[in-house]
Structure 1
Amino acid sequence: MEGLPTKDQLIKRNIQVGQNCSFCWAGIESHEHLFFIYPFSSSIWGKVSSLCSQGGGGPTTIQSAIAWLASSACADDMLDMVPKLAFCATVHYIWWERNRRLFENKVRTHDQIVEAIRLDVSIKCAAFSISVIQNPRNQFLADKWGLRVDWKTITQKTCAWFRPPANMTVLHCDGSLTVDRASYGGIICDATGAAIMAFVGNGDNNSVLSMELYAILRGVSFCVQNSQLQVSIRSDSKLAVDILNGVVSCPWNMQTLRDRISSIFHHLQRKEIKHVWREINQPADFIASMDTGDGEVIIYPPDFPPELVELIKNDYDRKVYFRNL
């Protein structure tokens, strides 16, 4: 959005144009004014927001638009694409309307633009076979946007921490990515689930996959250093597990990291790489999200925070978790 050549941006590039907004001809045409402050645009955002969620108004600034998108697309299912597509379509059609008025002297009402956005999103969604759980949020989106949805039947499965094959050490790994921090972490346990050590560090690559893979690299390195050469490696990143098991191709920008992991695997006498659900990877998830400052930190059980001790105990006691599929 910020790359669009609004008049204030053109003036900064020494291009001689009038600075008045192409909609109201009063305010200075900036991204904030054109897309959010001017009532015509804000009314479009309000209507689009009402199609995406049952509460709250539309965004009023670029930052609030990002926050609105994050809160509207947080269910981790296929219908998350609806607010994302709506966001892109809204920016596109507001900009298009600005150009129509400026260069073609043509005008559409905000209701016409909202309908164009709704149709645009519906057509794009029609290209996908959408299968999601039927809940109030998903039913609302399907009804408002006129989407064809295959409603899933909810099945519930149980999961619990499980022992590795005989004589193997267990390595749980995870990566974390927030707005201002990329990090990795993991925990090494014996075959009963008792913790041996944990590690956490900051990364310099803003990719969850890279942090997931780097956590495995560091965890296996610690195992090798401590002569734990038979390792059951567990991660809740199916993509990372599939890459290391050779099930899927590795992205080109992760190949160097994958090769480093493959190289250290040669030091192991036996290994297995397993995908586990998040419910039984909670200690690694907790560790990866710990902010310990710069660098990498090794933590031993006497120094574990109480929350981590409780999570490890749940695994040790084989606490059963329920997961909807």
Structure 2
Amino acid sequence: MDKRSWIWVWEANIPPKLKVFVWKILTRILPTTEALIEKDVEVLPRCPVCWASKETMEHLFFDCPVARALWSQAGFDSLGEGLARHTFPLFLKKLLAILHQPSQFMAVIATLWRIWRSRNWVVFEGKQFSIPALLRQYNQQVGEWLGLPREPQSPSSHLPDRPTVVVSGLGGPVCRWDGVVRRGSHSAGGMVLLNDVGTPLWAVGVQFPNLDDPMVVELLTLRKAVRWCLAHGFLVMRFEGDAKVVIDKICRADVRDSRVGTILEEMIQIFRENPGFTVRFVGRGDNRVAYKVARQTLSLFPTTCRYFDFQTWLASRM
């Protein structure tokens, strides 16, 4: 693979595990049943999804009914037409070389990942799945990647060594947030705007399907809260939550976590550009209202919580 394409893969705004996944495909070390048999691992020499033939990489990503259906419904039927398909890694190398838009690149990687994940659900968890469900997950994944752009950094835009986010004391309006996770399933976040005496003035919940990483959920919830305040013209706001690790990372401008580095960069930049915004840690007891909203939001899954009357619901429990 040419140097330009490798750089595109490794600098793409996708999780590190997806970069490793692409690398495994291109170097033919993805653990398909064919690869395992070649290493003398005792496995059934059949595709675990369709049982039609031996699971080669070409079958998995080209010929398996799940792969064909997902490529079709994702709108990629004609992508790569004219390229030789006798070996999938070579096909993928050539395909990536002709993709000129990041959105196309991310969409192709998301499709491959959904195919691989569906195969692993069958092999390791014995789960069944549907093409519409895979397509929803594909759309969500591409949307998340495209919604978190990583701008190229100039020498003057490097994050400073010292903290740039002020840890606020008391005073000013307060927005509290919290996230809850249902392991192996879904998650949700709750955001509450409080007045000076602690009465909720506004509350909303947000759902995160197929996401069960607590740190990611806390950060995405905080980002939703900050964006809402910016959109509604708030110039001063104290954001309070019980996610101490997340708050410490923001205060120290620590973006070294590969899972959430891009989101952390965005949050640090927002707090830097809005000096009236501060962040502060509070205990779970003080954050119970946001926690209640998050729990109620999770209980509403998979229905949307957009039209749920959180104000009336909170008033009945305060």
TM-score w.r.t. length of structure 2: 0.43
**Greater C-alpha Rg:** 1
Q: TM-score normalized by structure 1?
A: 0.42
